[in-house]
Amino acid sequence: MAKLPLNSSKTLVQKPKTHNNKNTSTQSQALAGSYFNTPEPPADRGTPGHREGAASRGQRKLLTALVPAFEGISDDPLSESVLGLTLEERPTFWFYVPKPLTPTTELEFILEDEQGNQLYQSSFTVSKNSSGIVSIKLPSTVKALEVGKTYYWHFKTYLYPNFPTSVDGWVQRVALKSSLQSQLEQATPKQEAAIYAANGIWYEAITSLAKLRRQHPEDKDLSEDWSKLLQDVHLEAIAQEPIVDCCTPIR
């Protein structure tokens, strides 16, 4: 894929929270609710992508990447910048698949660096027929993402015969600040998700909440936090979709 040049020395600057009590600490702001504090969009919009896949005739729900998206700077009304932040060396990526997957459904995930060098490519299979929200975790064999660097990912599947559909975007690894680390060390798992969300760290926020939701499916507070998180990046339409088992690498 030919990609626009990126300024990898820049990291996204998150929007400050607004609150009435000037003495409120960063931690208490984070614990006030698990809503996502969306970072400022990339200044040069050098992270073009597609959060939703193409639709076939009569299809209402689309393949969707669960990641923030910002308006692009070109005249193309479909242009958008698709980018999320992570603290991890090997984050987990999340996608909504609208049509039941089967063991014969083709799934492929690719990760590249800014220069287009492929770091990871794998096809996947599923163990049972299911539709919903799926995840792909980078394995330990993949080179660790570097702090301050931005990486391109691409997820493709054949939900309909002879009709491939895909989504693509970017992930940027940022440094863990000492103040944030101190908050996380004192937090419960539920509080951790809220802290990540309040600090604009998308991949850890969604992965933490998804894990908790699977462990405690009847917890209404977790369900509400999940809905708020997706609503804040305009993905509320799929907030009630199930999180399903997927995906097993086959090569």
The DSSP code for 25 is -
CA–CA separation, 130 and 223 (whole Å): 21
| Cα within 13 Å of Cα(181), Cβ side | 7
Region 148-168: mean pLDDT is 89
Q: What share of the chain is helix, strand, coil (3-state, %, to 5)?
A: 20, 30, 50
CA–CA separation, 142 and 159 (whole Å): 27
pLDDT, residue 40, reads 79
Residues 6+ apart with CB under 8 A from 148: 8, 9, 11, 172, 173, 174, 175
pLDDT, residue 244, reads 87
CA–CA separation, 165 and 160 (whole Å): 9
CATH number of this structure's domain 26-249, picked from the four choices 2.60.40.1220, 3.90.1150.10, 2.60.120.10, 1.10.760.10? 2.60.40.1220
Most confident listed range (17-26, 42-51, 56-65, 110-119): 110-119
Instruction: Give the least confident one: 4-8, 62-66, 207-211, 232-236.
Output: 4-8
pLDDT band at 103 (very low <50, low <70, confident <90, very high): confident
Q: What proportion of the chain, given as a percentage, has pLDDT over 90?
A: 58
pLDDT, residue 216, reads 94
For tokens 């063991």, name the residue.
Answer: 103
pLDDT higher for 154 or 79? 154
Predicted confidence (pLDDT) at residue 15 exceeds the cutoff of 50? no
Predicted confidence (pLDDT) at residue 110 exceeds the cutoff of 60? yes
Domain boundaries, the chain: 26-249
pLDDT, residue 16, reads 30
Amino acid at 113: D
Instruction: Give the torsion through C-alpha atoms of 196, 44, 145, 101, to 10 deg.
Output: 70
